[in-house]
Amino acid sequence: MLTETDSYDELYKNFRWDIPARFNMATACCDRHADGSGKLALIYVDEDGGTQRLSFDEIADLSKRFANVLKTGGLVRGDRVAVFLSQSVELPIAHLAAFRSGLVSVPLFTLFGEDALEFRLANSGAKAVITDDGGFEKLSKIRDRLPLLQNIYVTGGALHAGAKSFWQAIEDASEDFSTVDTSADDPAIIIYTSGTTGNPKGALHAHRVLLGHLPNVEMAHDFFPKPGDFMWTPADWAWIGGLFDALFPAWYHGVPMLGYRAKKFEPQAAMQLMADHGVRNVFLPPTALKLMRQADVKHSGVKLRSIFTGGESLGAELLDWVRATFGINAHEIYGQTECNLVVGNNSNLFPIKPGSMGKPTPGFDVQIVNDKGEIQPRGQRGVIGVRVPNPVAMIEYWKNPDATAKKYAGGFLLTGDLGVRDDDGYFWYVSREDDVITSAGYRIGPSEIEHTLMKHPAVAMSAVVGIPDPIRTEAIKAWIVLRPGFAASDALAKEIQDFVKVQLAAHEYPRHIQFADTLPMTATGKVLRRELRTLG
């Protein structure tokens, strides 16, 4: 979408959106490149180091077959299909099958526990789920509480009662499938994002969301794509970052993607992976970069052309380390699940100011506004707002009109993040308007954790806050008032932590627990989390 230049002002001023009336992500990201030439789409490396190479021709064939599987399973246009997988060969096949069928896909993080899964599946009304053996084990415990869920397709080799084999179903299906004619504004995907009150909200996005991501991806990756480009990210493909900051933009441009299933991020293994496969472009979340710096990683075989990062500020020290280690600048970006990649950096267009989020992405009018959507003067703190309509903004919060209405004011989508814009046009993040915790690149709502804590027999009351953490930006801390008959102890704290890991998600458990006799509250009974944050 961008024409290479060395002038940001020229790039921003001359940019115009060209969104076609009819648009489907499966056609754009796969079928355009499936021309019979065997053009490489994916190199997938499993935990044991085994490698698979798939072309766009093969991805097109497999996703058309699975589209027929979903059709035979009774799903019709507009139905939801959940993809409960980590980075894998099967994940993009499932999403593309949904897109080409006019279905709405629902990515789900594999570390989700039963509570998190049940809410998202019930709220979305998913009729089918694609998962692996571990995911099926979790689903089997809640399936009787999900009356709309009709079919579970399991990717592993084991046979499960009440499930179907993903690969056998594909093998038995026809490759003849005509992609549904979708509007750019037709619903395509629901990505759940945690808030501070109530349950998580599902951001419903249209097929155009992919096009809305492209200007920032192209700018922050220094005018991506260029010959020889090859993309990798350790970010999970269950989140908007993994899917729309990396996978689908790469495939839109016909650039191959490296997939790698790792149980945890290992800095030296990441360097070896990039060297072995000649990775040129990466999306590395700040936590990954911090862990790499901590491990003092080095590898002469790593030859990166661009580094894209976001989720929290790197700061001058980490920016300097990246430059010294990789020989290029890390380009920070800003966005959120509801309206992503609206601010970013490119050091060849304008100087990087350490700590700044950068300047508005071409195509986006980003301003500091008040709660009425009124633009504030430069240097004054306010809410970061993005003018709508624009291609990357969500359609709505799924089944939540009240929350949707509160997200907009004065023609702007209100991010809920407080910031400042300086005289040079750079945006600076100040704080969250709400209580969302930013930990290791994840935006985590305390409410869902508190609800799960309350299910533990020892917990009478709880409040969850984020506290400063040198690696994760923030770590999750839970303040807990115990029920009568329970005594505070390290053993009980660990038991509660393990309970949250299993019930909710491994990345959402409180790393710190403090037992208290009471919690600070307002007159109406709301916990004053801001007071707890000051206590650390």
* Residue 1 pLDDT greater than 50, yes or no: yes
Q: 362-365: list long-range contacts, CB under 8 Å, 24+ apart.
A: 362/2, 362/11, 362/12, 362/15, 362/215, 362/219, 363/1, 363/15, 363/16, 363/17, 363/212, 363/215, 363/390, 363/391, 364/215, 364/390, 364/392
Intervals of CATH 3.40.50.12780 along the chain: 24-182
| The two three-digit tokens of residue 336, written as one number | 């959120």
CATH of segment(s) 24-182: 3.40.50.12780
pLDDT the model gives residue 522: 56
Bond into 389 cis (ω within 30): yes
pLDDT digits (tens, 9 = 90+) for 104-156: 999 999 989 999 999 999 999 999 999 999 999 999 999 999 999 999 999 99
244/391 Cα distance (integer angstroms): 13
94/59 Cα distance (integer angstroms): 10
Residues with Cβ within 8 Å of residue 190, at least 6 apart in sequence: 80, 104, 105, 106, 124, 202, 203, 204, 205, 398
Integer CA distances (angstroms), 107 to 94, 231, 251, in order: 10, 20, 18
Answer with the residue of higher pLDDT: 310 or 180.
Answer: 180
* Residue 195 pLDDT greater than 80, yes or no: no
Return the sign of the alpha-carbon dihedral for residues 184, 185, 186, 188.
positive
Which range, of 169-173, 354-358, 369-373, 518-522, averages the lowest pLDDT?
518-522
DSSP 60-90: HHHHHHHHHHHHHTT--TT-EEEEE--SSSH
* Residue 330 pLDDT greater than 60, yes or no: yes
pLDDT digits (tens, 9 = 90+) for 389-417: 999 999 999 999 999 999 999 999 999 98
pLDDT the model gives residue 198: 62
369/367 Cα distance (integer angstroms): 6
Q: How confident is the model at residue 262 (pLDDT cuts 50, 70, 90)?
A: confident
Percentage of the chain modeled with pLDDT above 70: 97
| Residue 144: burial class (beta carbons within 10 Å; 0-12, 13-18, 19+) | exposed
Residue that is written with structure tokens 């079919």 in the block: 151
Intervals of CATH 3.30.300.30 along the chain: 437-535
What is the bridge-based pairing of β-strands 51-55 and 40-45? antiparallel
Q: What is the mean pLDDT of residues 215-229?
A: 98
Q: How confident is the model at residue 524 (pLDDT cuts 50, 70, 90)?
A: very low
pLDDT the model gives residue 454: 85
* Residue 197 pLDDT greater than 70, yes or no: no
Q: What is the mean pLDDT of residues 460-486?
A: 92
* Residue 332 pLDDT greater than 50, yes or no: yes
Q: What is the mean pLDDT of residues 271-299?
A: 93
Q: Give the start-end residues of each E strand in 128-200.
A: 128-131, 151-154, 164-165, 187-193
* Residue 441 pLDDT greater than 90, yes or no: no
Correct CATH for 437-535 of 3.30.300.30, 3.40.1360.10, 2.40.100.10, 3.30.230.10 = 3.30.300.30
pLDDT the model gives residue 525: 54
* Residue 362 pLDDT greater than 50, yes or no: yes
pLDDT the model gives residue 196: 46
pLDDT the model gives residue 193: 87
pLDDT digits (tens, 9 = 90+) for 286-301: 888 988 988 889 999 9
Answer with the residue of higher pLDDT: 28 or 445.
Answer: 28
pLDDT the model gives residue 501: 94
Contact 420, 377 (CB under 8 A): no
176/74 Cα distance (integer angstroms): 17
Q: What is the mean pLDDT of the chain?
A: 94
| The two three-digit tokens of residue 532, written as one number | 């707890």
